[in-house]
Structure 1
Amino acid sequence: MIKKLLLFCSIILLTACHTDDAAQQDPSDLAPFYKGMDLSFLPENEQLGVVFKDENDRNITDNYDYLASRGVNLIRIRLWVSSSNASYSLENLKAQVLQVKAAGMDYLLDFHYSDTWADPGSQEIPFIWLHQTDQELLTTVSDYTTQVLLELKNQGTEPAIVQIGNETNNGLLWPIGQIYNGSVENFDTYIMITNAAIHAVRSVSPESQIMIHRAGIADSSYFFDQLNIRNVDFDIAGLSYYPWWHGMNVSTAENELNSFARSVTQKVMIVETAYPFTLSWNDNLNNIIGLNNQVSPGFPATPAGQRNFMMRIHNMVKNLPNEQGLGYCYWAPDWVAHDRSNETFMNGSSWENLALFDFEHKVTEAMEVFLLN
């Protein structure tokens, strides 16, 4: 009888301890599903006096607080090494991430390692890094990455995710880190540069996850295979998916994403995507998307079509097996036309019909998707 009583007491004690542990578990310890936006344009828009409106047609007084209240939990921000456009400088980044953090959101730091746009067609070495030897460039990349992260760490704003290069389909820092030169393939130098940056991130900001970013889904398995067989130390495989550039059929893209996820061990994120709410225009700049043949079947260029497209993106990433999908980011939801008679880069917008704010700067229906779990 005594043994049975002792056994019963032990079970009760173990159960109580287990319950206490579960009750004390911090929800923040659970991996988030990111519903993000690239807001690199926002500081410049705000300086220009752009005022956005919420779903009730009221002026939004704090864009970061508003987006956080609508379910956005990650802000992506690009960083250029040095440029005449200070909007993508380290000083502006430091100021912007303070606002992001104050609103309770995480941020993704997008290192371009260039003075200008880096993408599959352009990966220019920063002017002040020109004429360096391969070894000097490795040291420079490491030192630069370290310095940026130290400044962010010193103000208490370490990034949740650090992206090493932007759309690096053909490497970065051309021609030194270029993967393809004609028919010749060489991943080695690109990977050495990438490893130099990764080592700096791990040393300065070990809590940050590291992303490698490639444009497109269909052919990405081979690229990431080359990184994995060379033991590149990264956490997230980031992909861009714009239907007009990467495959018009969304069902095909979903199948490709599932196949890709099975080919890597890292988390998967659609780190750039967007969709039109109209094919009309509202300024004097030509829009990137304006033709019926640029619209995916089943997703018309309407506010509802834009919402349904983003719903599909949400679900295809969320439903990847083994919770491998980390989330998605909408690119430039705020790049609206400001001065409609002006054709300068920012005052006009070739992206105005792909934003998540309409021609009156009122939020579109697609914002509802960010409230989903």
Structure 2
Amino acid sequence: MKLLGKIFLILTLFCLNLYSQTDDFIRGVDISFTPQIEDLGGKYKLNGVVKDLLDILKEKGVNYIRLRIWHTPKDGYCGLEKTIQFAKRIKEKGFKFLLDFHYSDSWADPEKQTKPAAWSNLSFESLKDSVYSYTKFVLESLRANNVLPEMVQIGNEVTNGMLWPDGKIYDPTLNQSIQWVKFAQLLQAGINAVKDVDSSNIKIMIHIDRGGDNNGAVYFFNKLKEQKINFDVIGLSFYPWWHGTLEQLKYNLNDLSTRYNKDIIVVETAYPWTLNYQIDNHGNIVGQNTKLLQGFPASLKGQKDFLIILKKIIKETKNNKGKGFFYWEPAYISVPPIGSSWENLTLFGFTNSNLEAEALSSIDVFLPDVDYATINVKMRINTSTLNDTLKPNGIVQLRGEVKGKSSSLLPSGERITWDNLSELIFKNIDGDNWEYTFQMYEGDTLEYSIWTGHTKTKYTYLSGGWEGPVIPFDNSNKNYRLFIAGKNDTILPVQYYNSSKSKIYQYFSPFKQNNDSIGIMFRVNLAHLMSKGIFDPAKNGPVVVRGDSIESEGILSWNRNKLILKREEPSVANNSFWSGIVYFPKYLIQKGRKIHYKFYIDNAPFNGWENSIPDRYFYFPSEDSTLAWKFFNDKNLITDIKEDKSLPDDIKLYQNYPNPFNSSTTIKYELNKDSYVSLCIYNSLGELVKVLDNKFIKAGSYSILWDGRDDNGIYVPSGIYFLNLVANEKRLVNKLILLK
């Protein structure tokens, strides 16, 4: 038994070591306010039990803590002494530690980089020495207390420089070339101090706020490269209401990772779980008028979904350079007298009279990713019961939500939502049959409805594209469909679109179940005949299917009306659809037999037949089937519900004209949806020459003239240039030739 115990211990230690080696993705938080909040009586709860905040964070998967440090803060919080005290607690709990030097007595960010009061009158040379000495002193003090950080930021959001005015950049009153040199020297002083304390173990980060601004980020880090600033990690802030969309962040991360081959961390981010606020005489930074991401409401689910997608984007950054993220101040709860302007962006609920805040469910996103068992789910939709002219290039979309481990993001990578952002768009297999295969975690529950459109922006005839209410398979009192993932790959029974306003069962079928026969549904649209007055339902008809009696074993006839179709009400274009089902004897007709037929109108002002086409036919199936709807006589006409052709199906970048060009050239592009657009000219060395567009643009067609000048107004020389369009997560490139 002793031997078995030793073996078990060895295996346990091995597994723990393996876990710690592979679990290196940073799931960090900045909780610099916490010591002050705790001193004022603030407490944190998990599952109703008051606990040390660090214990809660550890239990929920946080592995890295970020703390800011100010030079001489008025109340001592975020100063060196308080930082050492908190760093000891952090290290004792097993967290890694990022130290954020603000080089100020208070907040430093893109809008303000105020020198510490003690440095206000120093010469530039003395200022550099102070940056070096102060940085080194802080780190040596931390090392003396065995709490040396694993990573250090030299400055906080230094997009516009630091220690103004000496290190200020982008100031039109100052010489920019000189200012970049001075800024770089201040950065280098801090970097040198870190290296002199520990050159091998402490990672050095440079942090700016341009999470979704690729042009701004590239310009900044190109400038640092020119100044030969050597650092390890690119740090970015990404608050969507300030810094762009998730698509822009994704593009920026991938581009920066390729350009600079450096690790990248989203070192500040957050998202609201509500837009309400606690009355604490502090207005919230994010409120009712803040523009949030489409599809991510200010709710617990919206907050959780945002973090799940953010984590996925970072993990999928090219070259494995996305190393993690830090959530800014998730525990910044409201306690008097300091209150909180961030309370609705925390990961803890509002405090009560006991100053206790409960952890929100969204904090579970910080748990390490687990390889939960997944299954493949093939879902099949039939739109023969959709009373509209949906063509094979139409849209059949699943909208809904998953409850369980995956939230809105399925393990196969698609996002499912209740709006048009849902990525579960079915593929047409044939006729009215659509399929899509996706993955789900075992035990998760999918609640969903079917939405249809002629395009993504033009919905079908009834109810804005939404199908009618459905009774789920478990007979629960819901209005939507339901699937619960089991342990095996699943092919769901065919589900028919509900065009009625009445509730139908989830797996209803228009066919009667009969072991001796196979049902075939025929549908024909007569909108074009009705619009021209060739067919009047009140005078003409019935509408029937006629066909070969021998092939159909007498079910159809070329001479008699054996299958009379019924008018679908309501249906598109003044009830223009007629349909019907006929049952063929299963054991008399061999699978695959070719059966010919045509649509016919009795008492028509013409001979009643489809004259301009040969006989229609189908091959006899092995189960009940629907035939793709047809226009009578197969005329290539559409109904009064037209497809939306005003927008392209995707972004398009046309070749400039003329090309080659001498003095100027016209550039045209199209957007299929509203998007943030970057349209730039680069030379053959990959250097940015001209920014033509860099803004949020509505969907549509655009034309812009380039006169051959760069961003400084200087005419560029003859040569090959590249036009780069980025929109909707896609990049298109065209070659331009300038000849003088």
Which interval holds the TM-score relative to the shorter structure? 0.7 to 0.9
Residue type of the alignment partner of 2:82: N
**CA gap 1:332/1:229 in 2 versus in 1, 3 angstroms:** same
Residue type of the alignment partner of 1:278: T
Cα distance, 1:365 vs. partner? 2.0
Cα distance, 1:263 vs. partner? 2.2
Please say if residues 273 and 330 of structure 1, whose CA atoms lie closer than 8 Å, have aligned partners that are also in contact: yes
Q: Does 1:337 align with 2:328?
A: no
**CA gap 1:44/1:230 in 2 versus in 1, 3 angstroms:** same
Match of 1:116, SS state, is coil
**Structure number with larger C-alpha Rg:** 2
**2:44 corresponding residue in structure 1:** 52
**1:11 corresponding residue in structure 2:** none
How far, CA to CA, are the matches of 2:258 and 2:302 in structure 1?
29
The alignment of Structure 1 onto Structure 2 pairs a total of residues equal to: 342
TM-score (norm 2): 0.45
Q: Please give the root-mean-square deviation of Cα atoms over the aligned residues, in Å.
A: 1.8
How far, CA to CA, are the matches of 1:198 and 1:285 in structure 2?
37
**CA gap 1:25/1:87 in 2 versus in 1, 3 angstroms:** closer
How far, CA to CA, are the matches of 1:203 and 1:40 in structure 2?
26
Please say if residues 109 and 157 of structure 2, whose CA atoms lie closer than 8 Å, have aligned partners that are also in contact: yes
Alignment of 1:144-155 (within 5 A): 144-155=134-145
Cα distance, 1:359 vs. partner? 1.1
Q: Which runs of 5+ in 1 are unaligned?
A: 1-22
Q: Does 1:34 align with 2:29?
A: no
User: Given the alignment, which residue of 87, 96, 110 partners 1:106?
Assistant: 96
**CA gap 1:26/1:204 in 2 versus in 1, 3 angstroms:** farther
Residue type of the alignment partner of 2:74: S
Q: Does 1:194 align with 2:187?
A: yes
Q: CA-to-partner distance for each residue in 1:314-347, whole Å, 9 max, x for gaps?
A: 11111112210111000011111124xxxx4x2x
Alignment of 1:202-241 (within 5 A): 202-206=195-199, 207-217=201-211, 218=213, 219-241=216-238
User: Given the alignment, which residue of 266, 274, 286 partners 1:270?
Assistant: 266
Please say if residues 118 and 167 of structure 1, whose CA atoms lie closer than 8 Å, have aligned partners that are also in contact: yes
How far, CA to CA, are the matches of 1:273 and 1:108 in structure 2?
15
Cα distance, 1:166 vs. partner? 0.3
Please say if residues 145 and 201 of structure 1, whose CA atoms lie closer than 8 Å, have aligned partners that are also in contact: yes
Match of 1:87, SS state, is coil
**1:12 corresponding residue in structure 2:** none
Residue type of the alignment partner of 2:40: L
**2:286 corresponding residue in structure 1:** 289
**CA gap 1:31/1:165 in 2 versus in 1, 3 angstroms:** farther
Alignment of 1:67-146 (within 5 A): 67-146=57-136
Q: CA-to-partner distance for each residue in 1:93-141, whole Å, 9 max, x for gaps?
A: 0000100001100010000000110000100111111111111111111
Q: CA-to-partner distance for each residue in 1:185-206, whole Å, 9 max, x for gaps?
A: 2311011011011011011022
Instruction: Out of 86-95 and 65-74, give the one that drifted further.
Output: 65-74
Higher relative contact order at CA 8 Å, sep ≥6: structure 1 or structure 2? 1
Residue type of the alignment partner of 1:209: K
Q: CA-to-partner distance for each residue in 1:207-232, whole Å, 9 max, x for gaps?
A: 11000000122121111111123221
User: Given the alignment, which residue of 342, 345, 368 partners 2:364?
Assistant: 368
Cα distance, 1:372 vs. partner? 2.8
**1:252 corresponding residue in structure 2:** 248
Residue type of the alignment partner of 1:195: Q
**CA gap 1:148/1:31 in 2 versus in 1, 3 angstroms:** farther
How far, CA to CA, are the matches of 1:172 and 1:154 in structure 2?
28
Q: Does 1:280 align with 2:276?
A: yes
How far, CA to CA, are the matches of 1:70 and 1:317 in structure 2?
20
Please say if residues 258 and 319 of structure 2, whose CA atoms lie closer than 8 Å, have aligned partners that are also in contact: no
Q: CA-to-partner distance for each residue in 1:158-191, whole Å, 9 max, x for gaps?
A: 1010000000011100000111211742311011
How far, CA to CA, are the matches of 2:171 and 2:22 in structure 1?
43
Please say if residues 152 and 158 of structure 1, whose CA atoms lie closer than 8 Å, have aligned partners that are also in contact: yes
How far, CA to CA, are the matches of 1:252 and 1:352 in structure 2?
27
Please say if residues 149 and 205 of structure 1, whose CA atoms lie closer than 8 Å, have aligned partners that are also in contact: no
Q: CA-to-partner distance for each residue in 1:288-315, whole Å, 9 max, x for gaps?
A: 1112542110100001100111111111
Please say if residues 257 and 319 of structure 2, whose CA atoms lie closer than 8 Å, have aligned partners that are also in contact: no
User: Given the alignment, which residue of 303, 307, 327 partners 1:310?
Assistant: 307
**CA gap 1:135/1:25 in 2 versus in 1, 3 angstroms:** farther
Please say if residues 181 and 227 of structure 2, whose CA atoms lie closer than 8 Å, have aligned partners that are also in contact: no
Instruction: Out of 258-267 and 32-41, give the one that drifted further.
Output: 258-267
**1:322 corresponding residue in structure 2:** 319
Cα distance, 1:29 vs. partner? 6.1
How far, CA to CA, are the matches of 2:135 and 2:22 in structure 1?
28
Please say if residues 237 and 267 of structure 1, whose CA atoms lie closer than 8 Å, have aligned partners that are also in contact: yes
Please say if residues 32 and 67 of structure 2, whose CA atoms lie closer than 8 Å, have aligned partners that are also in contact: yes
**2:147 corresponding residue in structure 1:** 157
User: Given the alignment, which residue of 316, 334, 350 partners 1:359?
Assistant: 350
Please say if residues 158 and 205 of structure 1, whose CA atoms lie closer than 8 Å, have aligned partners that are also in contact: no
Q: CA-to-partner distance for each residue in 1:8-36, whole Å, 9 max, x for gaps?
A: xxxxxxxxxxxxxxx89965666821100
Please say if residues 170 and 180 of structure 1, whose CA atoms lie closer than 8 Å, have aligned partners that are also in contact: yes
**CA gap 1:31/1:301 in 2 versus in 1, 3 angstroms:** closer
Please say if residues 250 and 317 of structure 2, whose CA atoms lie closer than 8 Å, have aligned partners that are also in contact: no
Please say if residues 225 and 264 of structure 1, whose CA atoms lie closer than 8 Å, have aligned partners that are also in contact: no
Alignment of 1:180-191 (within 5 A): 180-182=170-172, 184-185=175-176, 186-191=179-184
Q: CA-to-partner distance for each residue in 1:230-254, whole Å, 9 max, x for gaps?
A: 221210000000011111x322322
How far, CA to CA, are the matches of 2:197 and 2:190 in structure 1?
11
Cα distance, 1:364 vs. partner? 1.3
How far, CA to CA, are the matches of 2:133 and 2:190 in structure 1?
9
Instruction: Out of 179-188 and 222-231, give the one that drifted further.
Output: 179-188
Cα distance, 1:282 vs. partner? 0.7
TM-score (norm 1): 0.88
How far, CA to CA, are the matches of 1:168 and 1:84 in structure 2?
23
Residue type of the alignment partner of 2:251: N
